[in-house]
Amino acid sequence: MVLFYILTTLTDLQGQTMTKLNKISFSKIDAPSKGIVVALAGEALATGAATAGLVGDLTGGLANVAEIGGFSGKKKTSLDLVAPGGLSLDRLIVFGTGAMDGLTRDDWRAFGGAVLASLKSAKAEAATIVLEAPEGEELDAELAAEFAMGAKLRAYEFDKYKSKKNDDKAKKTLKLTLQVADPKAARKAWTTAEGIADGVILARDLVNEPANVLGPVEFAAKAAELEALGVEVEVLGEKEMKKLKMYALLCVDKGSVSQKLIAIMRWNGGKKGAAPVALVGKGVVFDTGGISIKPAGGMEDMKGDMGGAAAVTGAMHAIAARKAKANVVGVIGLVENMPDGNAQRPGDIVTAMSGTNIEILNTDAEGRLVLADAMWYTQEKFKPAIMIDLATLTGAVLVALGNLNAGLFSNNDELADKLQDAAKASGEPLWRLPLSKDYDKLIDTPNADVKNTGGRWAGSITAAQFLQRFSNDVPWAHLDIAGTAFGAPKGDTCQSWASGYGVRLLNQLVADHYES
**Per-residue model confidence (pLDDT) at position 15:** 39
Q: Quick one: pLDDT band at residue 143, thresholds 50, 70, 90?
A: very high
Distance CA 51, CA 39 (A): 6
For the stretch 184-208, pLDDT in tens is 999 999 999 999 999 999 999 999 9
On the 0-12 / 13-18 / 19+ scale of CB atoms within 10 A, 164 is exposed
Strand partners, 278: 329, 387
Q: Please check whether residue 453 is in contact with residue 462, taking contact to mean a CB–CB distance below 8 angstroms.
A: yes
Q: Mean pLDDT, to the nearest integer, of 58-73?
A: 94
Distance CA 508, CA 426 (A): 6
Catalytic residues, by residue number, are: 294, 368
Distance CA 289, CA 158 (A): 26
Task: For 51-165, list the strands marked E by DSSP.
Answer: 78-82, 91-98, 126-130
- The proportion of the chain whose per-residue pLDDT surpasses 70, expressed as a percent, equals 94
The answer, yes or no, to whether residue 40 has pLDDT greater than 70, is yes
For the stretch 368-407, pLDDT in tens is 999 999 999 999 999 999 999 999 999 999 999 999 999 9
Element (H, E) at 424: helix 413-426
Q: Quick one: pLDDT band at residue 436, thresholds 50, 70, 90?
A: very high
First-to-final CA distance of the chain: 30
